[in-house]
A and B are shown apart, each in its own frame.
Chain A
Amino acid sequence: MGDTDLVDFAVDYARTKGAAYAEARYEQHFREAFILKNGVVDFVENSEDEGIGVRVLAGGSLGFSCTNTLTKAEVRGIVDGAVRTAKATKRKDPIVFAPEPAVTSNWSVPEGKKLVDVPVEDKIAAVQDIDKAVMGLKYKIPGRFYTTTCLRLVKYFANSEGSRIGSYSPRVRFHHYLTLLKGGDAEQSYRNYGWSGGWEALDAWKLEDRVLEEARTCMNGLEHGTKSPEGRMDLIVGPPVAGIMAHESCGHPTEADRVLGREASLAGKSFITPQSLGMKVGSEAVTVVDDPTVEHAIAYYLYDDEGVRARRRYLYKGGLVNELLQNRESASSFKTRSNGASRATNYDREPIPRMANTFVEPGSWTPEEMIEGVKHGIWMKTYMEWNIDDKRFNGKYVGREAYLIENGEVKGPVRKTVVELTTPMVWGSVDAVGNDLDLMEAGFCGKSDPTQSLDACLGGPSMRLRGVRLR
């Protein structure tokens, strides 16, 4: 019996065991990765993981089970387990899924330079060349840590309503830490890039230029950086900063399962409640979207892990809470429809509402035009330390590359600008959004139990905030 046959069998068998709804997902992950640490290839990873996960609705409760032993007997065993434990959970308020049409589809991501066609030695050599270029700067960089990951993800989804969806999704991730020293002072930088597609990712990112620029700006900060001024002033944030703000202060609080309390003991709840649609959270300039259909952004997909068609979600629109990220379970509670946000990290996890590519919708301003309008302020292009509380109301972003702006002109570098603001303060202060959309920045978004760390795009356009308190 082939793997897709086993998936179909799992769904049919679950129905015979009394499941009101059943879905099964086969996933095969080919992972090739390597770490280049201080000029030495520490190790190469070559992994292949495949298996089937089954989720059922039975007796008003959800049951999930998975296996990587791909036999009919084993699949029968996990279905039995999922149905039995779902029925045994003693839930009083039955779980219902919002309706969806059956879908048959097969989609894939365009892959310029196929990952399987590029030998690992060539991939390693490309990163070694970047490291050599960094060392060519002749700075003191005792910590150089580069992680490169190529993932080829094959999926086949089926449910008891007739959906049958196959997909192939290649992805490339690159992240690095650089630790630079000057005198007795240290500056550390972390950047993370993601691409859905093939090895053309490195060209698309202009990776060497980006890493070199990171090293140069670190050293510039060490050599010339001054203490960032304190007080109320204007702030221009670069695409990575706008990206993390969109992720933390818009994407997470609009996850419907979080709003309902399903994540309360983990990633927390949200300042947004089920009654918050239409609530003002920002200026009219602020529209934040989550869009899985942006080609080549790291979290690209066309159907989610419940077989629902993906689309652009307008989470904040014109400064108002507009839409939540829904899966079929949460959508039913909100008496709405799923908007295709349900994802799992692998066959061994349940799908839940997740962000994909979350970003501030670009405006018409160039960064130069935004700077011209600032009398006294900070241009914070990148960040290092960041965090936000579990209701997504109090965020902090500490500058890595940042500059003083005086009378519309960029002056010298400033160090460790602290942006510690409430979510309404961040979005309410935005008066201009840039046209410089950059969606190459990526991150690992954590949620759920057991943990599900998922690819997320953390890019965006530049953005100007007026009169915020910095230190």
Chain B
Amino acid sequence: MEDYASQIVKAAVKQGAQDAVVEVAVDRSHQIRFSRNEPVIANRWRKTTASVFLAVDQRVVAGEVSNFSKIPERIGALIKSARAAPKNSGYRGIAKGPFKYGRASLDRKITSLEDGADYVEAAVNGALEEGAKETAGSFWRSHEAHYLETSNGVSAEDERAHVYLSLRALVSLDSSGHGVSCATKLSQFDPEKAGHKAGRIAALAKNPKGGKPGTYDILFDPLIFGSLLDQVGARASAWLVDAGLSPFAKQLGKKVASAAFTLYDDGTADTLGHRRFDAEGVPVRKKAIVEKGVLKTYLHNTSTAKKAKVKSTANAGLIAPEPFALVCQPGDWTRDEMFKEVKDGLWLTNTWYTRFQSYVTGDFSTIPRDGIFRIKNGEIAEVWKDVRLTDNLLGVFKRIKALSNKTEQVMWWYEVTTPTIAPYALATKVGITKSAM
């Protein structure tokens, strides 16, 4: 497959590209989806595609190539598109290689895994044992090989594999819980634990009543905190800042969160986002996005970094910089201590549908789902439903009071798109609203 990458780069340069980046990805993943406690479909992928980035006389073009018998024609079409475009005055080039990379980390027990039905069964049974009546979710065995070649001296390979299970347990429509298990080593994969967690929350969440609007101290479970961290990580991309789609514009060096909060992007960490290099071939590294509450950097590729007169943070995607794995530095609180700290508040376990009124101001709302618990003096006093968290993104992070000393790896669907290591988090005076009847 490295031959394809090399062929495409050569064809692009021959046809006039000054910069060419080609990443061939070979996907051999499989998945089992389940609902109502039974598998509903088994999916398998056998795809080999090339992501192509070219710059021709400061004009930028990108595209996918999926038919490798048509490489010269496809590259011709890309070059023609580039030449038709006006110059991108903000484009500053790609990284200059070669680079040295860390060793690839791969568990062959995962790549040789042919099935997953037993893992599904273990997770479902775990939830049912806790009192759940219904479960749904997905088991994934992801396996991808990546071959990167550039016109600027980069030639690199990576092989990535992980297992993942997401399960939602329901006692009723209004009483549910969610658990996930993420692992890059099969020995660390514990779908049964995810099932138990989801089932336990669902059982705790029985007979909820409508919540009351107001401001509350909120204890965020790692899964929902991961959703908020996902927003911070994504909005830290220099490309989105430049587009006016981030609350972090003009915030470098300024306080954007509580001093208790430090967030890293770290593609080298042992997470589902682990990789050896970014989309330009720059070796990934750990960097603080927010350190002790202060915004330290945007996420950059070579071009956005040069424009900002800084070094690339090794976060290149095909076009825009992006986070690969978010790691929130743990605090020094135990989970029990955090619950005891909540005198009159809520414990939220999951959320979805986070939307902004303005990315510039960071005003947003999101809808807690699964267990929503009213906490009084550290104990569950009531179970709630039908409330919405309505606040400001930076405002919530500035009001973080405590982070747990233990973290969990979370990732889930559209909500936690970047693999994230998240602790429990306690934030004060968070806005809660609800629908008028």
Contacts and interface: CB of A to CB of B under 8 A. Distances in A.
B46 A49 contact: no
A63 interface: yes
A453 to B, nearest CB: 9
Contact of A121 (B65, B84, B168, B178): B84
A48 B356 contact: no
A468 B36 CA distance: 37
A278 interface: no
A304 interface: no
B244 A390 contact: no
A44 B60 contact: yes
A61 B120 CA distance: 15
A45 B39 contact: no
A435 interface: no
Contacts of B88: 40-43
B357 A449 contact: no
A124 B60 CA distance: 13
Contacts of B355: 385-387
Given A388-B367, A420-B435, A82 B39 contact: no
Nearest to A448: B33
B105 interface: no
A177 B136 contact: no
A63 B434 contact: no
Interface stretch (A161-169, A265-273, A361-369): A265-273
Interface string B364-395: 11110100000000000000001010000000
A172 B19 CA distance: 29
Interface stretch (B73-81, B94-102, B254-262): B73-81
A119 B84 contact: yes
Interface in B19-71: 30-33, 35-36, 38-49, 59-67, 70
B244 A145 contact: yes
B414 A446 contact: yes
Contacts of A91: 38-40
Contacts of A95: 40
Given A61-B41, A398-B357, A390 B49 contact: no
A405 B67 CA distance: 58
A87 B18 CA distance: 51
B85 A120 contact: yes
Contacts of A4: none
A390 B386 CA distance: 10
A89 B63 contact: no
Contact of A37 (B32, B59, B242, B354): B242
A395 B94 CA distance: 45
A350 B43 contact: yes
Contact of A387 (B117, B361, B365): B365
A15 B44 CA distance: 19
A97 B40 CA distance: 13
A332 interface: no
Contacts of B148: none
Contacts of A62: 40-42
A66 interface: yes
A78 B44 contact: yes
Given A188-B244, A261-B35, A384 B357 contact: yes
A90 B34 CA distance: 11
A420 B435 CA distance: 5
A78 B61 contact: no
B395 to A, nearest CB: 15
Contact of B77 (A46, A77, A451): A46
A65 B74 contact: no
A66 B39 CA distance: 19
Contact of A85 (B44, B356, B435): B44
A393 B367 CA distance: 12
B319 A42 contact: yes
B170 A45 contact: no
B63 A47 contact: yes
A331 to B, nearest CB: 15
A420 B434 contact: yes
Contacts of A42: 60, 88, 90, 319
A121 B85 contact: yes
A390 B435 contact: no
Interface stretch (A68-76, A201-209, A316-324, A454-462): A68-76
Contacts of B365: 385, 387, 396
Interface residues of B, number: 84
Interface residues of A, number: 92
A394 interface: yes
Nearest to A61: B39
Nearest to A390: B369
A88 interface: yes
A48 B70 CA distance: 10
Given A43-B61, A260-B36, A388-B367, A416 B357 contact: yes
A278 B234 CA distance: 44
Given A41-B88, A121-B85, A186 B361 contact: yes
Nearest to A271: B173
Contacts of B358: 179, 186-188, 384
Given A42-B88, A90-B117, A449-B33, A78 B46 contact: yes
A40 B45 contact: no
B404 interface: no
A424 B47 CA distance: 45
A385 B36 CA distance: 33
Contacts of B117: 88-90
Contact of B85 (A124, A145, A422): A124
A64 B44 contact: yes
A421 to B, nearest CB: 5
Contact of A264 (B31, B136, B437): B136
Contacts of B134: 261, 264
A43 B367 contact: no
A31 B66 CA distance: 13
A32 interface: yes
A63 to B, nearest CB: 5
Nearest to B320: A42
A393 B387 CA distance: 11
Interface in A395-420: 395-396, 398, 416, 418, 420
A337 interface: no
**Residue from B48, B67, B78 whose CB has the most chain A CB atoms within 10 Å:** B67
B82 interface: yes
Contacts of A436: none
Interface in A135-177: 142-145, 177
A263 B173 CA distance: 13
Interface string B335-369: 00000000000000000111111111101111101
A425 B436 contact: yes
A85 B85 contact: no
B228 interface: no
Nearest to B117: A90
26 contacts: A34-B85, A38-B242, A43-B62, A44-B60, A44-B61, A48-B64, A48-B74, A51-B66, A65-B45, A67-B46, A67-B47, A68-B47, A78-B46, A81-B46, A91-B38, A93-B38, A121-B85, A145-B243, A177-B243, A261-B35, A348-B47, A384-B356, A385-B357, A390-B367, A394-B386, A451-B413
Given A49-B49, A261-B170, 5 more contacts: A77-B46, A145-B245, A265-B35, A265-B136, A265-B166
The 9 closest A-B pairs by CB, nearest first: A143-B244, A469-B436, A264-B136, A85-B42, A265-B168, A387-B353, A89-B39, A385-B357, A179-B244
